[in-house]
Amino acid sequence: MRFFKDLSLSAVTAGFVAVLVGFTSSVVIVFQAAQAFGATPAMIASWMWALGLGMGLASALPSLWLRKPVMVAWSTPGAAVLATAGAGYGMGEAVGAFIVCAALITLAGATGWFERVMNRIPMALASALLAGVLARFGLAGFAAAQTALPLVLLMLGAYLAGKRFVPRYAVPLTLLVAVAFAAARGELAWSAVHFSLAVPVFTMPVFTWQAAVSLALPLFVVTMASQNLPGVAAIRAAGYDLPISKLITLTGVATLVLAPFGGYALNLSAITAAICMGREAHEDPARRYAAAVSCGAIYVVIGLFGAAVTGLLTAFPKELVAAIAGLALLGTIGGGLAAALREEPYREAALITFLVTLSGVTVAGIGSAFWGVVAGAVALAAQRLGRAKARAGKDIAPACKIRLDDRAGAASASSVPSPADSAPSRTPSSPNPSSPTRP
């Protein structure tokens, strides 16, 4: 089978790092979202089962089929919305809202309107958007030195040495060194690991207008604007041509099927996609899909074992997770910035997109990724309008000058006497009375 020929240690490591970063950075928010609806421990385990299987199968199967990396993740900002807006709603109403959101995502993919919107965003702005989303993880990786300076310095040294001598395995080497260092210092919380299979819990959906407006619509908006938007940007920045509309439809259908078990919203990934689509996964872009398949397989294991794998992944120190994420994303961040600032006409708008996205500002419950694109698009439109007016002025000026020159020439021609006017007058003179006349 071709997959096993394309499989490599760097791809497996990239898949594991993607799971480690994506899972540990947001699993607490998912727990809080479930608890906001009064979920029992069994229901929370069912949420992990549904989300793990959904992310795993929706990532691995399309990647195997297309031979290109496809990365699907849960909606982290969506979980934050549910955690803050879920008070007063039961689990049945929550599931009903999940189904409404899934139907909207499916509709967005099936009609193709989301892909058409994405196609109108210049590549420079899309690259700036991705760089802004990922740069926060790069900053957090080095900020971890404030609380774990020896660990971060050791990881940075291992990464630089790996890039110098074995660039393909720089990230696996860094992760191995970091885990060994943390284990030697007793910083791995193995006590949180308890092996047990997760059991899905079905919840009958309850549909209400209140839940649809207060939960489903905000969940849909933040998932599309804060997750799928940078997810498509990550795909484009990596240079892959994927059927975006079909993948959006796939995430909607998967959410629709898994919603009664706690699968609240699935979407295209940006952060974990950048890890599995970058050079750290493999030098050959045609073999990087193996990283996405590996990531999907690990997600499936998470879904099956639920709390056990959750405890395993959360056993790592948070500084280790932050540092490995920042180092693994360095190449993608640099590539995104280079692509964003390469063309001078887009440079200022791309920089505005990058800074607004990096700021993390949230307005009306919508994250900075959406507002970064809006700010960049407005800046680009204003810039183009100014250039159009300046160009129109330059085009009008020569025409006016020509008309003025023509008028001046005509006036000059009318004031110059003609040759007939300038010749001496030849009118006949009257006879001189003093001159003699001839008879």
What is the overall mean pLDDT for the chain?
A: 85
Q: What is the pLDDT of residue 378?
A: 95
Domain ranges of the chain: 2-384
The size of the chain, in residues, is 439
Backbone angles phi, psi at 265, to 5 degrees: -170, 125
**CA nearest to 70, candidates 289, 239, 285:** 289
How far apart (Å, rounded) are the C-alpha atoms in residues 64 and 47?
26
33-42, 87-96, 108-117, 303-312: range with lowest mean pLDDT: 303-312
Cα distances (angstroms) measured from residue 72 to each of 263, 272, 425: 13, 9, 101
| pLDDT number for residue 136 | 87
Question: Does the pLDDT value for residue 411 go beyond 80?
Answer: no
Pairwise CA distance, residues 75 & 233, whole Å: 16
CA 382 to chain centre: 23
* Beta carbons of 79 and 264 less than 8 angstroms apart: yes
Kindly write down the DSSP assignment for every residue of 39-101, as one continuous string: --HHHHHHHHHHHHHHHHHHHHHHHHHHTS---EEE-HHHHHHHHHH-TT--HHHHHHHHHHH
Residue 428 confidence (pLDDT) above 70? no
pLDDT > 50? residue 162: yes
- Condensed to tens digits (0 to 9), the pLDDT of residues 343-355 reads 899 999 999 999 9
Which percentage of the chain shows pLDDT scores above 70? 85
User: Cβ neighbours of residue 80 under 8 Å, at least 6 residues apart?
Assistant: 29, 33, 222
Give 267's strand partners: 73
- The neighbour count for residue 390, using CB atoms within 10 Å, is 10
Beta bridge partners of 268: 72
Residue-wise pLDDT for 21-76, tens only, equals 887 777 878 888 998 899 888 898 899 999 999 999 999 999 999 999 999 999 98
